[in-house]
Structure 1
Amino acid sequence: MSPRLLVLLLTALLGLAGCQEDTPETLAAQKAIAIESGEECHLCGMIISNYPGPKGQLYERGDTRTHKFCSTRDMFAFLLDPEHKHNIQSAFVHDMAVSHWDHPDEETYIDARTAWYVVGSSKKGAMGPTLASFSDEKTAKAFMKMNGGDLYTFDQLNLDLLSQMGF
């Protein structure tokens, strides 16, 4: 095999390998970032900062661009969709234990996979019902006692549950 052909073959193989794995640089870049005024929801196109309640952000594998959502409900509608579910690398939600409902603080994002969620509360987000997200179970239960709803972990959430939330 010629040296030139060998170099081309190795370059192609390295390129394919890079498509399958996230690099340390890609993973380090995947963190929640501030939602700027005028930014639109990745799912519905609404202006994110115009609405109350927790917001969400996620990254797809191998991508350094964040997808931002006007509500946790919209984020989970995208994340749980079978077309996208396998490709989500990281996801973030506001910790409503330390953030004001009407204007969530951009410094209070937590890992969505470790959060606790209250579904069916009286509190509304963009487009109505949303998932109230919390970093700890105790605070989520206290919120639930005051505002109603049921408690879920990330792994318990599914599209059927979201569709039962109504609008």
Structure 2
Amino acid sequence: MFSKLCFALSLSVSLAFGAGMFQSVEPDKATLVNTKQGGEYCMNCGMNLPKFYKTNHIHKDTQYCSLHCLYEATRGNLPSEAKVVDTKNLNFADAYKATYVIGSSMKGTMSQNSKYAFSSIEDAKEFQAQNGGSIANFEEAFEVAKKDFLSDKKMIKAKREGGVYEKGKTVYETKCQKVNAKEFKNIASLKANLKEVCSTKNDAELQAAALYIWDTPKAKEQKTISKIMVPKDAKCPVCGMFVAKNPSWVAMINDGDKELYFDGVKDMMKFIFKENKKFNQIFVTNYYKLQKIDAKTAIYVIGSDVYGPMGSELIPFSTIEEARTFAKDHDGKTILSFDEITKSLVEKL
């Protein structure tokens, strides 16, 4: 009876962590750099790290399930240092010293194009001989992740919209206490909380619920988002121009009982640095869609061949994909987040 019980428990653990999945290891064989709540989940997508352990990467003490998630988290900037799991011995190795096998027959994580790493080039070649693929170093693997990124994002989006969100909604509404996504810094901490407040401990169900809760508010916000409506007599407080004449470039600050309009992100940032004040509500215009978006979550491109009403501009986008496409098409020099915009950078534009 005891042996049967042990077998049943062992089987349930194997199923929970993806029996038959090449990427998976038992939880006790996985090294997790974050031992706090949510440390067993990818900070970028929420997926279970032991379940996709053989493609795990570490950058700045943050662990990701895949090279795809590392690429997204670094906004496509090649990190100066990173670690990757050795597919054979399961230890973390310096990614820059590792040998990758790209495009093998083994399934990838968050990508249709698999990427597995080895400390030893001999181990990599042995894996290649058995499973196909091409040999590469970290920089080359990162470049492949860059080329794959947009198609992989479309694949992931299609899967989520094709059933994951629906499953997550059902799990959340029938098995979980209600939570507020805004209370969590990332999807990993949200999923860890769901593990405590949901009657299910099944990882696939928790992942679906976490994605449904995390992504739904963003989808609703994008559907209801509108353009920045500028009064005809509104003048930019920095340059004095009538802002309504250039609606494609409008930026706006909601400062309590008044709204301030600017003829571009550059002038708005000049105003913010001059005032030396934190404004809660700041909006800019998405370059492609001409929609009002949150300035603090937007991605910006500088140094391109596209100019605004006041010359060189910080050009805003909703996603890193849009920014990278624009930078490629218009010779953009740098892609950065709102928090990376500095006073000296603005003054040089």
> What TM-score, normalized by structure 2, do the two folds share?
0.33
Alignment of 1:88-103 (within 5 A): 88-99=279-290
Q: Any gaps of 5 or more consecutive residues in structure 1?
A: 1-30, 100-107
Q: 1:105 maps to what in 2?
A: none
Q: 2:5 maps to what in 1?
A: none
Q: 1:153 maps to what in 2?
A: 337
> Which of 1 and 2 has greater Rg?
2
Q: Does 1:114 align with 2:297?
A: yes
RMSD of equivalent CA atoms = 1.9
Number of residue pairs matched? 123
Q: Distance in 1 between matches of 2:276 and 2:336?
A: 18
Asked whether the equivalents of residues 114 and 154 of structure 1 are also in contact (C-alpha less than 8 Å), the reply is: yes
Aligned-residue offset at 1:33: 4.5
Aligned-residue offset at 1:120: 1.2
Give SS of 1:128's match.
coil
Alignment of 1:34-113 (within 5 A): 34-51=229-246, 53-60=248-255, 63-81=256-274, 84-99=275-290, 108-113=291-296
Q: 1:127 maps to what in 2?
A: 310
* 1:50–1:71 distance in 2 versus 1, CA, 3 Å: same
Q: 1:163 maps to what in 2?
A: 347
Aligned-residue offset at 1:64: 2.0
Q: Distance in 2 between matches of 1:128 and 1:42?
A: 17
Identify the structure with bigger relative contact order (alpha carbons < 8 Å, sequence gap 6+): 1
Aligned-residue offset at 1:53: 4.6
Asked whether the equivalents of residues 115 and 136 of structure 1 are also in contact (C-alpha less than 8 Å), the reply is: yes
Identical positions, percent: 28
Q: Distance in 2 between matches of 1:115 and 1:134?
A: 6
Q: 1:8 maps to what in 2?
A: none
* 1:116–1:122 distance in 2 versus 1, CA, 3 Å: same
Q: Distance in 2 between matches of 1:51 and 1:128?
A: 13
Asked whether the equivalents of residues 53 and 126 of structure 1 are also in contact (C-alpha less than 8 Å), the reply is: no
Amino acid corresponding to residue 289 of structure 2 in structure 1: V
* 1:71–1:141 distance in 2 versus 1, CA, 3 Å: same
